[in-house]
Amino acid sequence: MNASVSIPSVLNLRPEAEQAPTSGIVDVFSYGRLKPGIIPLWVGEGDLPTPSFICEAAARSLSEGETFYTYQRGIPELRQAIARYHEGVYGKAFDPERFFVTSGGMPAMQLAFRMLSGNGDEVLIPTPAWPNFAGAITIAGARPVAVPMTIDAQGWHLDFERLEQAITPRTRVLVINSPSNPTGWTATHADLRAALDLARRHGLWIVADEIYGRFVHDPALAVDGRTPSFRDVMEPEDKILFVQTFSKNWAMTGWRLGWLEAPPALGQVIENLIQYQTSGTPTFIQRAGVAAIEQGEDFLADQIVRAKRGREIVGRLAQTGLVELPPPSGAFYAFLKIKGATNAKDIAFRLIDEANVGLAPGSAFGEAGEGYLRLCYLRKPEDVEEAVRRIGEALPRLVG
Amino acid sequence: MNASVSIPSVLNLRPEAEQAPTSGIVDVFSYGRLKPGIIPLWVGEGDLPTPSFICEAAARSLSEGETFYTYQRGIPELRQAIARYHEGVYGKAFDPERFFVTSGGMPAMQLAFRMLSGNGDEVLIPTPAWPNFAGAITIAGARPVAVPMTIDAQGWHLDFERLEQAITPRTRVLVINSPSNPTGWTATHADLRAALDLARRHGLWIVADEIYGRFVHDPALAVDGRTPSFRDVMEPEDKILFVQTFSKNWAMTGWRLGWLEAPPALGQVIENLIQYQTSGTPTFIQRAGVAAIEQGEDFLADQIVRAKRGREIVGRLAQTGLVELPPPSGAFYAFLKIKGATNAKDIAFRLIDEANVGLAPGSAFGEAGEGYLRLCYLRKPEDVEEAVRRIGEALPRLVG
C-alpha cells in the first residue's frame, strides 16, 4: 500500500532510491489538510507547541553565539542529562558514553540499520508497524520482512512462532517497538524475555523502539509509571540498540532531536557515521534538549494525563458496537476497525468528506493493518470529543 | 590516512559501517584543541558567530510555536527564497521545485549519492578532496575512486585524461568541487564544459559542489562576483545534482541547513529519502535561512573581504621560499607544502607544539594531499597575521 516511485530510466537512479516507499498517509493528508474545520488526528504529534522554557533555552544559546560546528556524538551536557534521565526512569546507573545525540529518532534508526544491515540482509518487523522502519531498511539496501502480529479480543500479540519461522540465514535484526505505533500494543516482561531469547539463539541484534515508554495505560503493565523495557531484562553484553526521540514526551516533533543508545564499543563507528549523515546536531537544539530533560517532567505528566483522557473518550467508539478497538495499553494511538470495512484508505477519505476528521489508513502500517484506521488522541479533550462525535454520526453509513 | 575502525567480530556489524573512515583531522584536532592560545585554522569555518538578525528569525519562529512536523521538501517560503537567490547570483530564472531543503550540505550530498550509487558502483573524485565525499559514498555501499589532480607552478589542474582512464562500466558519478576544499582550485568554464562532455559521453551523473562559489579571488575567473558554474554551461536535461549549504556564506556551520538542487522529476524520490533520512528540517531553522538569504548580502560581502585579506596575509608564507603555495583562486583555504616535508600529520602536530597554530594535515584529503597542510584563513586579520608570524618562525626548523 506504500507505493514506490517510477522515474524515467534515462535518469538511471539507484533502484533502492526508487523503492523507498511513499508514505501511505500522504495522499489522505494532502486531500484533507486544508479542509476548514478538519480535526487532524492522522499524524503522530499532539496539538501543543513546545513549552516555552525549552524554546527559550535554544534562543539563549543562539544569542550566546553557539552557532559553530560541535561534537559529532553530542555535547557532553546533553549526553550526561540523557544518562541521568535514564537513571531516573529505569532506576539504575547509565554511562553517558552509551548515548549518541542524533537529529531525531529517524536518524537514530537509520544509524542503527546502517550499522547492522546491508545489501541482501533481512530485518524482521512485527506488523502493523510504523512504516519508517521498512523505509530506513530499504534505503540501507536491506530487506524488511513483515511478521504479522495476531489479534484477539484482548488485543494484539507478538507471535513468536511466526517470528522464528521467518528467520533465515540472512536475518540480522529484530525490531521491537513497544508501546507500538500504531496499535498501542505493549510488551510484557515475558514478551521481552522471549524476544531476547530468540535474538540470542539466532545471533540477531535487536533494535528497540521504546519511545512511547512513558505513556502506559494498562496498570497491570506499568513499572514505576513506565512500560516494561529491555533494560529490565538484558545483560550488558546483549546486542540491543535503542532509538529514542524528544518528539513525543516534550512536544518537540519539529525539532529533530533524538538519541541512539548503544554499547560504548561502537562509539567511533557511530561518530563516523554521524559525520557523514548529518555532521552533528545544532548545539542550540541540544541545549533545548537539556532543558526538556531537566525541567520537563511536569509538562510530560500533563501530556500523559491528556493522553489518558483522550484514550477514554475514543474508547466510547467501541461501545457503538460498530467498531473493533482493543484498548491500547500504551502510546497515544487508537487502532480501530470499522466493522465490515475492508479498504482503510477509502474509509479515511470518506471520514474527511463526511465527518471532517483526519485519520491515517491502517494500510500505511503494512498489510496486517488493512481495514484499520489510526487515530492520535494526544489532543485537547474537546477536540477528541468532537472528533468522536462526528465519527460516531458517520459510522452507520460506513459499516460494510 | 583516514583510518577505518575495528570492532569485535562478535558484534557482527555491517562492513561498510566499520569502513566509514575516521576523519584524518580528528586526532590532530583532539591533540591541540584545548591548548591555551592556539589559533585554530584547521576546520572549515570562520571565527564569527551567525549574525544576530538570522538568530532572531529562528527565535521569533520558536516563540510563534513553529515546533511541529513540516514539509519534507522544505517550507515553500525557503524554497522560493532559494530560487530568488539563484536568480540573483546566476542571472536567470529558477523553478522553486528544483530546490529541496536539507539539514546541511552533508545530508544533501548523502541524498545525492544514495540516489545515484549503490553496492559496487564507482564514483570519481578528483583529489585532494574534502574527505566527506568518500565517506558518504562508502556508507552508501559504493566505491570512491580518487583521481589525483596535477600541480604545477600555476596551481592545481583537473586531469581529464586521468579521469577518462579511471572510468569503468561501474562508474556512475563524477564529483566536481569548485572552488575546491582544500586546494582553492577553481574551474574555468572550459573545465566545466570538458567535465560535462565527459559525463555526457559516459552517461555519468555529476555531483557539483559549488558551495564556495561566492568566494572568488582570481579576477580572471570572476563572473559577476562569483566563480564559473555548471549552471552557465549546462542544458536543462543534463544530469547534475548540486549540493549547497548555508554554512559558509552566512556563518551558519552549526545550524545544519543546506539544499539539494535537482531536476523536479526526482521530487517524490527525494521527498521519500528525506522522510527516512531526517524527516525534514526544523521550520525555525528554515526561517533563519530565509532571513539569511533576504538580508544577508552585506554580511556575506564582509565575509568575502575578510577572506581576501586573510588570503593576502597567508600569501606571505610563499615569500619565505620555504613553502610551496599556489595562490588559491577561490574558497577560503590555503593548501601549502613545507619544502621537503613528507608527513603532513607530523608537521601538523609539530605546528601545534612549536607554533601553537592548528592546521589540518593534507593527508586527510587523500593521498594526493600528503605533505600538505590546509589552513582556513576566514578569520579576523590580526589572528591570521599572528598565525603566519608563528608559522614563519617555526618554518626553518620544519623544512625537511
- Encode pLDDT of B194-219 as tens digits: 999 999 999 999 999 999 999 999 99
Is B399 within a domain? no
Backbone dihedral angles phi then psi of residue A122, each to the nearest 5 degrees? -120, 140
Tell me the three state secondary structure of residue B259: strand
Cα–Cα distance for residue pair A14/B353, rounded to 1 Å: 48
Verify cis geometry, omega within 30 degrees of 0, for the bond prior to A144: no
Q: Is B400 exposed, middle or buried (0-12, 13-18, 19+ CB in 10 A)?
A: exposed
Can you tell me the mean pLDDT for B130-134?
96
- CA B137 to chain A, closest CA, distance in angstroms equals 9
Complete edge-to-edge strand list for the sheet that includes strand A122-127: A99-102, A258-261, A240-245, A205-209, A171-177, A122-127, A143-148
pLDDT value of residue B1:
42
Tell whether B285 and B246 lie within a shared domain.
yes
Tell whether A157 and A266 lie within a shared domain.
yes
Helix ranges (DSSP H) in chain B: 15-19, 26-32, 52-63, 76-90, 105-116, 131-139, 160-166, 189-202, 230-233, 267-277, 283-295, 297-319, 344-355, 381-398
Can you tell me the mean pLDDT for A48-67?
98
Asked if residue A276 lies in contact with residue A342, where contact means CB atoms within 8 angstroms, the answer is no
Q: Which residues of A touch B264 (CB under 8 A)?
A: none
Is A380 within a domain? yes
Q: Which residues of A touch B70 (CB under 8 A)?
A: 254
Q: Which residues of A touch B12 (CB under 8 A)?
A: 116, 172, 203, 205, 239
Q: Which residues of A touch B13 (CB under 8 A)?
A: 115-116, 266, 269
* Cβ contact A135–B7 (<8 Å): no
Chain A CA closest to residue B264: A7
Can you tell me the mean pLDDT for A128-155?
94
Tell whether B310 and B290 lie within a shared domain.
no
Higher per-residue confidence, B40 vs B2: B40
pLDDT value of residue B2:
54
Cα–Cα distance for residue pair B310/B332, rounded to 1 Å: 8
In this complex, which of A69, A135, A265 lies closest to B8 when CB atoms are compared? A265
Query: Hey, is the C-beta of B141 within 8 angstroms of any chain A C-beta?
Result: yes
pLDDT value of residue A3:
62
* Cβ contact B276–A70 (<8 Å): no
Can you tell me the mean pLDDT for A288-316?
98
Tell whether A129 and A231 lie within a shared domain.
yes
User: What's the number of domains chain A is made of?
Assistant: 2
pLDDT value of residue A1:
42
Three cell numbers, residue A175: 525490531
* Cβ contact B58–A55 (<8 Å): no
Chain A CA closest to residue B106: A278
- Taking Cα atoms as reference points, which of A181, A176, A180, A212 lies closest to residue A196? A176
Tell whether A254 and A327 lie within a shared domain.
no
Cα–Cα distance for residue pair B359/A248, rounded to 1 Å: 42
Asked if residue B126 lies in contact with residue B134, where contact means CB atoms within 8 angstroms, the answer is no
Among the candidates B240, B266, B296, a domain finishes at B296
Which of B 232-271 lie inside 8 A of A, CB atoms? Answer: 239, 251-256, 263, 265-266, 268-269, 271
* DSSP 8-state code for residue B183: T
Q: Identify the residue among B16, B62, B206 best suited for mutation to test binding to A, counting A beta carbons within 10 A and taking the highest.
A: B62
- Helices B344-355 and B381-398: crossing angle, nearest 10°? 110
* Cβ contact B17–A275 (<8 Å): no
Query: Hey, is the C-beta of A53 within 8 angstroms of any chain B C-beta?
Result: no
Mean of the per-residue pLDDT values for chain B? Answer: 95
Q: Is residue A2 predicted with pLDDT exceeding 70?
A: no
Query: Hey, is the C-beta of A19 within 8 angstroms of any chain B C-beta?
Result: no
Give residue-wise pLDDT tens across range B333-366.
Answer: 999 999 988 899 999 999 999 999 999 999 999 9
Query: Hey, is the C-beta of A34 within 8 angstroms of any chain B C-beta?
Result: no
Is B57 within a domain? no
Among the candidates A276, A295, A314, a domain finishes at A295
* Cβ contact B50–A69 (<8 Å): no
- CA A282 to chain B, closest CA, distance in angstroms equals 5
Cα–Cα distance for residue pair B132/B365, rounded to 1 Å: 9
Cα–Cα distance for residue pair A68/A286, rounded to 1 Å: 13
Among the candidates A263, A295, A327, a domain finishes at A295
Tell whether A147 and A280 lie within a shared domain.
yes
Cα–Cα distance for residue pair A76/B272, rounded to 1 Å: 33
Cα–Cα distance for residue pair B216/A258, rounded to 1 Å: 39
Lowest-pLDDT choice from A16-25, A96-105, B276-285, B371-380: A16-25
- C-alpha dihedral sign at B283, B285, B289, B294: positive
In this complex, which of A132, A271, A281 lies closest to B276 when CB atoms are compared? A132
Is B4 within a domain? no
Q: Which residue has the cell 582512464?
A: B165
- Please report, as a single letter, which amino acid is at residue B50: T
* DSSP 8-state code for residue B255: G
Q: Identify the residue among B279, B285, B286, B303 best suited for mutation to test binding to A, counting A beta carbons within 10 A and taking the highest.
A: B279
Three cell numbers, residue A173: 535484526
Query: Hey, is the C-beta of B103 within 8 angstroms of any chain A C-beta?
Result: yes
Mean of the per-residue pLDDT values for chain A? Answer: 95
Size of interface A-B (CB pairs under 8 A): 235
Reported confidence tier of residue A5, pLDDT bands at 50, 70, 90: confident
| CATH code of the domain in which A371 resides | 3.90.1150.10
- Taking Cα atoms as reference points, which of B112, B95, B102 lies closest to residue B71? B102
Is B2 within a domain? no
pLDDT value of residue A165:
98
Query: Hey, is the C-beta of A174 within 8 angstroms of any chain B C-beta?
Result: no
Three cell numbers, residue B87: 536568480
Q: Is residue A95 predicted with pLDDT exceeding 50?
A: yes
Backbone dihedral angles phi then psi of residue B311, each to the nearest 5 degrees? -65, -40
List beta partners, residue B122. Answer: B143, B171
Reported confidence tier of residue B29, pLDDT bands at 50, 70, 90: confident
Tell whether B233 and B118 lie within a shared domain.
yes
> CA Rg, chain B, in Å?
21
Give residue-wise pLDDT tens across range B300-329.
Answer: 999 999 999 999 999 999 999 999 999 999
* Cβ contact A67–B252 (<8 Å): yes
Query: Hey, is the C-beta of A135 within 8 angstroms of any chain B C-beta?
Result: yes
Give residue-wise pLDDT tens across range B149-159.
Answer: 999 988 999 99
pLDDT value of residue A25:
84
Is B372 within a domain? yes
Q: Which residues of A touch B282 (CB under 8 A)?
A: 254-256, 285
Q: Is B11 exposed, middle or buried (0-12, 13-18, 19+ CB in 10 A)?
A: middle
In this complex, which of A23, A45, A254 lies closest to B275 when CB atoms are compared? A23
- CA B264 to chain A, closest CA, distance in angstroms equals 11
CA A240 → CA A163, A173, A192, A258, B56, distances in Å?
17, 9, 12, 17, 41
Cα–Cα distance for residue pair A168/B52, rounded to 1 Å: 56
Which of A 354-373 lie inside 8 A of B, CB atoms? Answer: none
| CATH code of the domain in which B251 resides | 3.40.640.10
Query: Hey, is the C-beta of B285 within 8 angstroms of any chain A C-beta?
Result: yes
For chain A, give the secondary structure using H, E and C: CCCCCCCCHHHCCCHHHHHCCCCCCHHHHHHHCCCCCCEECCCCCCCCCCCHHHHHHHHHHHHCCCCCCCCCCCCHHHHHHHHHHHHHHHCCCCCHHHEEEECCHHHHHHHHHHHHCCCCCEEEEEECCCHHHHHHHHHCCCEEEEEECEEECCEEECCHHHHHHHCCCCEEEEEEECCCCCCCCCCCHHHHHHHHHHHHHHCCEEEEECCCCCCECCCCCCECCECCCHHHHCCCCCCEEEEEECCCCCCCHHHCCEEEECCHHHHHHHHHHHHHHCCCCCHHHHHHHHHHHHHCHHHHHHHHHHHHHHHHHHHHHHHCCCEECCCCCECCEEEEEECCCCCHHHHHHHHHHHHCEECEEHHHHCHHHCCEEEEECCCCHHHHHHHHHHHHHHHHHHCC
Percent of chain A with pLDDT over 90: 88
Q: Which residue has the cell 516534550?
A: A250
Query: Hey, is the C-beta of B23 within 8 angstroms of any chain A C-beta?
Result: yes
Residues in chain B: 400
* DSSP 8-state code for residue B178: S
Query: Hey, is the C-beta of B25 within 8 angstroms of any chain A C-beta?
Result: no
CA A369 → CA A146, A154, A160, A372, distances in Å?
11, 17, 19, 6
Asked if residue A275 lies in contact with residue A267, where contact means CB atoms within 8 angstroms, the answer is no
- CA B141 to chain A, closest CA, distance in angstroms equals 8
Q: Is residue A361 predicted with pLDDT exceeding 70?
A: yes
Cα atoms in the 13 Å half-sphere on the side-chain side of A173? 35
pLDDT value of residue B21:
86
Cα–Cα distance for residue pair B271/B161, rounded to 1 Å: 37
Tell me the three state secondary structure of residue B7: coil
In this complex, which of A14, A23, A118 lies closest to B114 when CB atoms are compared? A14
Tell whether A277 and A365 lie within a shared domain.
no
CA A252 → CA A262, A346, B197, distances in Å?
23, 31, 48
Tell whether B185 and B278 lie within a shared domain.
yes
Q: Is residue A325 predicted with pLDDT exceeding 90?
A: yes
- CA A219 to chain B, closest CA, distance in angstroms equals 31
Q: Which residues of B touch A138 (CB under 8 A)?
A: 276
Asked if residue B86 lies in contact with residue B94, where contact means CB atoms within 8 angstroms, the answer is yes
Lowest-pLDDT choice from A7-11, A132-136, B272-276, B310-314: A7-11
Tell whether A236 and A369 lie within a shared domain.
no
- Which residue segment(s) compose the domain that B286 sits in? 65-296
Lowest-pLDDT choice from A17-31, A98-112, B245-259, B280-294: A17-31
- Please report, as a single letter, which amino acid is at residue B334: A
Tell whether A34 and A70 lie within a shared domain.
no
Give residue-wise pLDDT tens across range A200-225.
Answer: 999 999 999 999 999 999 999 999 99
Tell whether B110 and B175 lie within a shared domain.
yes
Q: Are strands A39-40 and B143-148 parallel, antiparallel or unpaired?
A: unpaired
Q: Which residues of A touch B9 (CB under 8 A)?
A: none
Chain B CA closest to residue A118: B14
